[in-house]
Amino acid sequence: MKIRFICIFALFLLFSGSSFAQEKPAWITSFENTLKKKEAAWKIKNKIEYPETGSYSFTLKSGNATALIQISAFPVITNPEETFTGQVTIFDNTTGKNMRKNKLPNLGSEGYIWTGSRDSYTSIKFRKDKVFVNVFAPTEKTARRFAQHVFEQIP
């Protein structure tokens, strides 16, 4: 009976650890605070957070303009380079196929920017180790600024 109790208790401890929700990383909160301080014209209108999967999405508004910032922090990923390359390829073959793509050499481990005509939005995708970031903004200048804010907060 005692061994059964110990086994059940050990199983409880083993499986209960995976059911506790992970907390939002402090750097995500720092990023939000940076947006509020440095981007006063832009307001966070919608925020979706899934700390347990490391997924954060921010919709920002400034007048009629909208921007989107998506952050995926993968705590466990064995091949971030290949995964990021796959995401870039998918974007190239879909949304990005009618846009100009350029490398962003000073933004993370890998980074790209897609620009289009004067009336289209700018997209930036970059990776810093196991953190993947997508920025979608109405101008290249705004997209670069938002991407830099995220980059500066990632540990």
**Comparison of pLDDT for 123 and 12, the residue scoring more:** 123
| Predicted confidence (pLDDT) at residue 28 exceeds the cutoff of 60 | yes
**pTM to 2 decimal places:** 0.83
The domain spans of the chain are: 22-153
Mean pLDDT of all residues in 133-141? 96
pLDDT category at 143 given cuts 50, 70, 90 is: very high
Question: CATH code for 22-153?
Answer: 3.30.200.100
Please state, as a whole number, how many other Cβ atoms lie within 10 Å of the Cβ of residue 69.
24
Residue 117: the pLDDT is: 64
Beta strands across the sheet bearing 110-115: 43-50, 55-62, 65-73, 131-137, 122-128, 110-115, 100-103
